Amino acid sequence: MAKVDKFEDLDCWKAGRELVNIVFDFCEKPSLSKDFDTKSQIKRAAVSTMNNVAEGFGRFSATEFVRFLNIAQSSALEVRSMSYILLDRKYITQQEFDMLYKQSNTVINLNNGFIRYLITKDKTKTKI
């Protein structure tokens, strides 16, 4: 793995950022404009996917970082779950749902890979 100097270098953070932009774009749609609770919840969950990666990056141990990556992971799963609500309520199209589902899975997979890496690294006590 290449040396990482800042959280913005992490693929899992970049994927979370992309997820945030997709969610925020969908939340600007007129169909979702009046459902403030749903809109607020999915936006908070999406933002959590990238912010928890950033917060974990600033921690002093791989164990703490993994804890924050697990939170980011849970938030991506929440976005994925909520995408069904958006689809079922006809706030988004099937094509938009597929895009949201795919990006949330990308976040999940990248977080899983990074968690596995950090757990292994922590056992061997090597630097990122």
pLDDT in tens, 56-110: 999 888 999 999 999 999 999 999 999 999 999 999 999 999 999 999 999 999 9
How confident is the model at residue 3, as a pLDDT? 77
Total of domains in the chain = 1
Distance of alpha carbon 99 from alpha carbon 102, whole angstroms:
5
The answer to whether residue 118 is domain-embedded is yes
The torsion angles phi and psi of 35, rounded to 5 degrees, stand at -90, 75
Whether the CB-CB separation of 97 and 82 falls below 8 Å is answered with no
Q: Provide the residue range defining the domain that includes 45.
A: 7-124
Task: For residue 14, report the phi and psi dihedrals to the nearest 5 degrees.
Answer: -60, -40
CATH code, domain with 111:
1.20.1440.60
Q: Running DSSP on this structure, what letter comes out for residue 37? A: H
- Asked whether residue 2 is assigned to any structural domain, the reply reads no
Q: What's the rounded mean pLDDT across residues 39-51? A: 98
Q: Is residue 18 part of a domain?
A: yes
Is position 1 within any domain? Answer: no
> What pTM, to 2 d.p., does this model score?
0.91
Closest CA to 22 of 109, 70, 110, 83: 83
- Pick the more confident residue, 9 or 128: 9
